Amino acid sequence: MKRILITAVAALCLLAGGTVFAQDHPLKAQIPFDFCVGDTVLPAGTYLFGQQPASQCAMVVRNSTTGEAIFNMAKANDYFTPESPGRLIFQRYGDQHFLREIHGQYVSNNMTLPVSAREKKARMELGTVKVYEHVTVPSEKD
């Protein structure tokens, strides 16, 4: 049953792929380092960050150069104050960066990502040494 559900969700995401950025205002940013969204590692580059229009809990990250996109679960946060031009918050552990929050120009851009298994593992590998920090990347104006 779980396998069927995962397959159905994946199929819906693929079918909706053409309308992923039907959202009026995706956030665009140049990320100068490799980073993780969930358990997926993405190379440095220019990316668009947005919410899947049909869902309050699905976000998409699309590489502006290659067009490749990944989907991840995220919690929409109406309590963030919209920011111009917006910003991305990363949690850094050693040389690994994990996308944690998106603060957008519009309330619909504001999202928080859950802690992934990969991030939990990075935390545990550091042990009690506090070698982590927040990294903020401003978004670009179009």
Domain boundaries, the chain: 2-138
- End-to-end Cα, the chain, rounded Å: 44
Whether the predicted pLDDT of 35 surpasses 60: yes
pLDDT of 34 reads 95
- pTM metric for this prediction: 0.72
pLDDT of 108 reads 64
- Number of neighbouring beta carbons within 10 Å of residue 82: 14
Beta strands in 7-95 (DSSP E): 27-31, 35-37, 40-42, 45-51, 58-63, 69-73, 75-76, 87-93
pLDDT of 3 reads 42
pLDDT of 36 reads 95
Separation between Cα atoms, residue 56 and residue 59, nearest integer Å: 8
pLDDT of 127 reads 65
Q: What is the mean pLDDT of the chain?
A: 74
**Which one is predicted more confidently, 79 or 43?**
43
pLDDT of 105 reads 73
Residue (of 113, 140, 104) closest to 24 by Cα position: 104
